[in-house]
Amino acid sequence: MTRGAAGAAVLVLVLVPPLLTSNPFLLHLAITVLLWTLLGAAWNLLGGFAGQVSFGHSTFFGVGAYTTMILYLKGGLAPWYGMALGGIVAVLVSLPIGLICFRLRGPYFSLSTLAVAEIVRLVALNWEGLTNGPVGLLITTLPRVAWGGRILDWESKVPFYYMIATFALASMLATYRLSRARLGAYLLAIREDEDAAESVGIDTVRAKVLTLALSAFFTGLGGGFYGLYFRYVDPDAVFPIALSVEMVFIAVVGGLATVIGPVIGAVFLTTIGEMFREHFLVGHLIFYGLFMMLVIRYLPEGIWGGARRAWAKRP
């Protein structure tokens, strides 16, 4: 299948569902999958390509969410600008975090991102003047806005669907472009051996900082969308460690350093989540843990990575 045809297929697959169904539950499910795809793809840039496993990406998600909410509720700034700004603020936040954490390698880097995420969560919990603390922030009414000549119906899921679909597609496109660019090659080298990468003339610090910024942007964008869609944000919803771990899960199970991997990971995560939420209310996390272990043991390249390898080996 040529690249153009694959791209068109993805586009169709993504744009069609709201035309096929107006079942709000199914649309909500699709929105959830797309949001997780966005987050997984964002994490994948840093974790999959550059090999820097962050357990603290919830920081960028929460920063994006809170930026959007605060700018709207306290500043009256329309949420779509707020979302973009959420991404940008996340990028700004990523700079000092990178400065601190990139001095460390491997598991130490991962642990430091965990510490940073916890610090940020605690600050959000306690700085009530800015964030309303544990009470959180609530949007009661969204602004009236027209798109293509029609007033958007915020009660319907459709506008949200197209919004998140656009973001998710953008993140996948960014991943694709990165994988073909020199920066993508540099990141894989850094993942393999950072010192050797330095020794062949690769500016590893610049590469990591750039990638973190890109990753933070998309994660923050996702956070902003979350605020807009769910209309309620509190520190435990947007800053918990579990969120970071789920992002890792999506990328690892789906397939690190691939474009399609995060989609598969997101579908997997959401399907299991829904299956178990129906029957057990909480059991789904059991299976996240179990699948993470199974994938690392038996399929370390993830579902998509493994499928690609099997496809390449066919007789």
The least CB distance from residue 74 to another protein, in Å, is: 22
- Smaller CB distance to another protein: residue 25 or 280? 280
The least CB distance from residue 210 to another protein, in Å, is: 14
Pick the closest to residue 82 from 217, 233, 232, 224 (CA basis): 224
The least CB distance from residue 121 to another protein, in Å, is: 9
- Smaller CB distance to another protein: residue 50 or 163? 50
User: Which residue ranges make up the site for another protein (CB under 8 A)?
Assistant: 51, 53, 55, 100, 103-104, 106-108, 110-112, 114-116, 118-119, 122-123, 125-126, 182, 185-186, 188-189, 192-193, 195-205, 241-242, 245, 248-249, 252, 280, 282-283, 285-286, 288-293, 296-297, 300
d(CA 103, CA 209): 11
Give 134's DSSP letter: G
The least CB distance from residue 12 to another protein, in Å, is: 31
CA 271 to chain centre: 17
- Smaller CB distance to another protein: residue 116 or 168? 116
d(CA 304, CA 70): 38
Helices and strands (H, E) in the chain, number of each type: 16, 4
Tokens representing 86 are 């959420």
**Those residues with Cβ within 8 angstroms of residue 49's Cβ, 6 or more apart along the chain or in another chain:** 178, 179, 184, 187, 188, 191, 211, 256, 257
- Smaller CB distance to another protein: residue 21 or 126? 126
Structural contact between residues 124 and 66, judged by C-beta atoms closer than 8 angstroms: yes
Phi then psi dihedrals of residue 138, to 5 deg: -130, 130
d(CA 209, CA 100): 11
- Smaller CB distance to another protein: residue 21 or 271? 271
The least CB distance from residue 2 to another protein, in Å, is: 20
Start-to-end Cα distance in the chain: 18
- Smaller CB distance to another protein: residue 17 or 133? 133
Give 137's DSSP letter: E
The least CB distance from residue 297 to another protein, in Å, is: 6
The least CB distance from residue 191 to another protein, in Å, is: 8
Dihedral Cα 45, 51, 56, 60, nearest 10 deg: -20
- Smaller CB distance to another protein: residue 81 or 108? 108
